[in-house]
Homo-oligomer: A and B are copies of this chain.
Amino acid sequence: MRIDNRQLDQLRSISFERHYTKHAEGSVLVSFGDTKVLCTASVEAGVPRWLKGKNKGWITAEYGMLPRATNTRNQREAARGKQSGRTQEIQRLIGRSLRAMIDLSKLGENTIYIDCDVLQADGGTRTASITGAAIALIDALESVQKSKKLKTDPLIGLVAAVSVGIKNGEAYLDLCYEEDASCDTDLNVVMTQKGEYIEIQGTAEEKPFSRMEANKMLDLAEKGIAELVELQKTALDW
């Protein structure tokens, strides 16, 4: 049994609170257990300079943690004057993952900014961010379609993400902070709703892992993501 009484292959309690704030075109408070992330999607006319004139849109993401989202307070990145390597790594991952949801050539010259701000952290903030932001993006897309009169629907489909780990040879789904810290290996997987991979990021700081362990983790991630996609669909009333 796990510290929070879950089965090894069981997700934490997942929830999506849509329209959480009033200004953003898409705004979702996503919870993966005690990890809570506010994901907003903001639509702006225009694209970055390097994309101008190509009749395509763009999606980019930024990520932040409130200073006391964690057990001990972290220095505020705005005060420190730069984003950490970890922050940049995560926001690049979120951006790539969400771009896989959209056919950018059907988006018009519009940019959608995804902002994922962690209000409370308990492991898996990047996977919660991706899974929640996917819904915010869909809400924002609807707003683009209304106001910008897109001819065709740019949506390809949902993506969702989950973490898996290996500890003492056993695979764990959706790690909370304590599990994340004690695992030998940590794998983050992003998949489409059709079960194809967008990203696989596995790291073994403690102990290298075998191909068999990799396979176990990929199996478990596939199961978890299929469940997350169902929960996303319910939240979207699909």
A85 an interface residue at 8 Å Cβ cutoff?
yes
A64–B119 Cα distance when bound, in Å, is 13
Given A192-B208, A196-B210, answer yes or no on A67-B82 (Cβ-Cβ < 8 Å): no
Main secondary structure, interface of A, reads: mixed
A107 an interface residue at 8 Å Cβ cutoff?
no
Please state if A42 and B67 are interface contacts (CB–CB under 8 Å): yes
Q: Which residue of B lies closest to A99 (CB)?
A: B205
Q: Which of A46-70 contact B (CB under 8 A)?
A: 62, 64, 66-70
- A3-11, A20-28, A141-149 - the one binding chain B: A20-28
Please state if B117 and A66 are interface contacts (CB–CB under 8 Å): yes
A36–B42 Cα distance when bound, in Å, is 19
Q: Which of A89-120 contact B (CB under 8 A)?
A: 89, 91-92, 96, 99-100, 113, 115, 117, 119-120
Please state if A34 and B22 are interface contacts (CB–CB under 8 Å): yes
Contact of A62 among B24, B40, B76, B83 (CB under 8 A): B76
Given A81-B81, A91-B85, answer yes or no on A68-B201 (Cβ-Cβ < 8 Å): no
A66 CB, min distance to chain B CBs, angstroms = 5
Interface residues of A (CB under 8 A from B): 21-24, 27, 34, 36, 38, 40, 42, 44, 62, 64, 66-71, 73, 76-83, 85-89, 91-92, 96, 99-100, 113, 115, 117, 119-121, 187, 191-192, 194, 196-205, 208-211, 214, 218, 222
